[in-house]
A and B are shown apart, each in its own frame.
Chain A
Amino acid sequence: GAGVSQSPRYKVAKRGQDVALRCDPISGHVSLFWYQQALGQGPEFLTYFQNEAQLDKSGLPSDRFFAERPEGSVSTLKIQRTQQEDSAVYLCASSPLGNGGQETQYFGPGTRLLVL
């Protein structure tokens, strides 16, 4: 069975450009998470979906960050007017369970974003 996949794997953007990062979770997984991982750091939580509902977006650093999961499967993280400090690896994770079970998250390979 396929794991979590993300695309693109690498993205170079000019400052001010909008970017869209895609996550395909494991089929049937209810929960989906986005994280931001800076170089040499652990991942930091951005947002959480249970099916199509975005239940927690407390980690999104600014209103330039927007995430959606309209049909409860594929998710897109959009960053508007990118800034250099947005450069990081963006990780997506999914979990088969809804509330609770967040400890069993399966991560994708990440999208490495570089903003010039």
Chain B
Amino acid sequence: QKEVEQDPGPLSVPEGAIVSLNCTYSNSAFQYFMWYRQYSRKGPELLMYTYSSGNKEDGRFTAQVDKSSKYISLFIRDSQPSDSATYLCAMIFSGDNDMRFGAGTRLTVKP
């Protein structure tokens, strides 16, 4: 079992839809949780990070962490074709250097 599990998709939604992306993890010691967006042939771009449990909102993006269930989510409201990319979840222990990534979910938003 991988430490971080993420459904690779692909996920296809119409423009304006609400998108839900999810990851589960096995190690309860993870403390920081990140979401990255990666366009084709580009490096990952940090979208959001959260510490411990709770919600964080930034514009059309909301990140949720449920440590009791070892489950994190990223919601995208009013999705746009420009949101089409691969979304990677990542997590890390406090003070550690080894960020663990999910495999990434490939999202396509159709106009």
B34 lies within 8 A of A103 (CB) = yes
Give per-residue flags for A82-116: 1 if the beta carbon is below 8 A from chain B beta carbons, else 0: 00000000010100000110111111111010000
Residue of A nearest to B88 (CB): A42
B102 lies within 8 A of A4 (CB) = no
A65 interface residue (CB < 8 Å to B): no
Known: A91-B43, A109-B42. A103 touches B97 (CB 8 A): no
Task: Tell me which residues from 1 to 42 in chain B have a Cβ below 8 Å from any Cβ of chain A.
Answer: 4, 6, 8, 32, 34, 36, 41-42
The number of chain B residues with a CB under 8 A from chain A is 28
The number of chain A residues with a CB under 8 A from chain B is 27
Interface of chain A, main secondary structure: loop
Q: How far is the CB of B98 from chain A (nearest CB, A)?
A: 4
Chain B contacts for A33, CB-based, 8 A: 97, 99
Residue of B nearest to A9 (CB): B41
A102 lies within 8 A of B43 (CB) = no
Most interface-central of B43, B98, B102, B104 (chain A CB within 10 A): B43
The 7 closest A-B pairs by CB, nearest first: A42-B101, A107-B43, A48-B97, A103-B32, A45-B98, A56-B97, A107-B44
